[in-house]
Amino acid sequence: VESCVSELDAKQIAVKFLEQYHNNVLPREISFDEDTYLITLATGLVEKKTIQVRVDANTARIVGVNYPVNFAKTIDGIFELSDQIRYALIVNSKGLHVYSKMANGKTHLVRSESQITNLSSDLHILRQLLRMFDESLGNTTFTYFEREKIHVLVFYINDFMVCVSCERSLSHHQIIDIAGNIRKNLEKSINRH
């Protein structure tokens, strides 16, 4: 089945749509999947932003807008907050590993590769368990737990889970301060639109 909208038309629709809100809109890439075109565009003259617009190939309607996140930059920003942060991991809503990094000069406390691999799916399971109470208590936005060797902070931002481990020597007040700063950082980079 052929689509009613051509690639060129889809690009023009995406550009025209974004020009309502942004300057200097230029299409970069286009792909086709499940009856929609995904057009990646760059906007702005000085501060460049990448935006993805999804156009329905049959109706020519905009069906989605996405502001891709630079996960490496997000995690580097977290590490800049404190030298007591050990590790950061970003997991998507399906429990799949998106990006992770160990802070410079730190070593993994978990030695087993399978335990490291399972962390993403374990975080997904935890989120599913917490969702059982969403209707009565509201969505979970943050969890915190202590282990004998580390503090673990988990943030729930949009469709992502961000797990951050910190040195155990930190006091509860220091952890809360770090958690607040991490949340601000994540809201700027992941939840900005």
CA dist., res. 48 & res. 98, Å (int):
23
Query: Given this model, what pLDDT does residue 191 score?
Result: 61
Query: Given this model, what pLDDT does residue 136 score?
Result: 94
pLDDT digits (tens, 9 = 90+) for 149-174: 999 999 998 778 999 999 999 999 99
DSSP state of 138: -
CA dist., res. 108 & res. 126, Å (int):
22
Query: Given this model, what pLDDT does residue 146 score?
Result: 94
Query: Given this model, what pLDDT does residue 1 score?
Result: 46
Determine the 3-state secondary structure of 137 from DSSP: helix
Q: Span 130-146, mean pLDDT? A: 93
Split at pLDDT 50, 70, 90, the class of 68 is confident
* Residue at token pair 């989605």: 64
pTM above 0.85, yes or no: no
Q: What sign results for the dihedral spanned by CA atoms 147, 115, 125, 99? A: positive
Name the least confident of 25-29, 85-89, 173-177: 25-29
Which residue in 114, 72, 112 sits closest to 89, CA to CA?
72
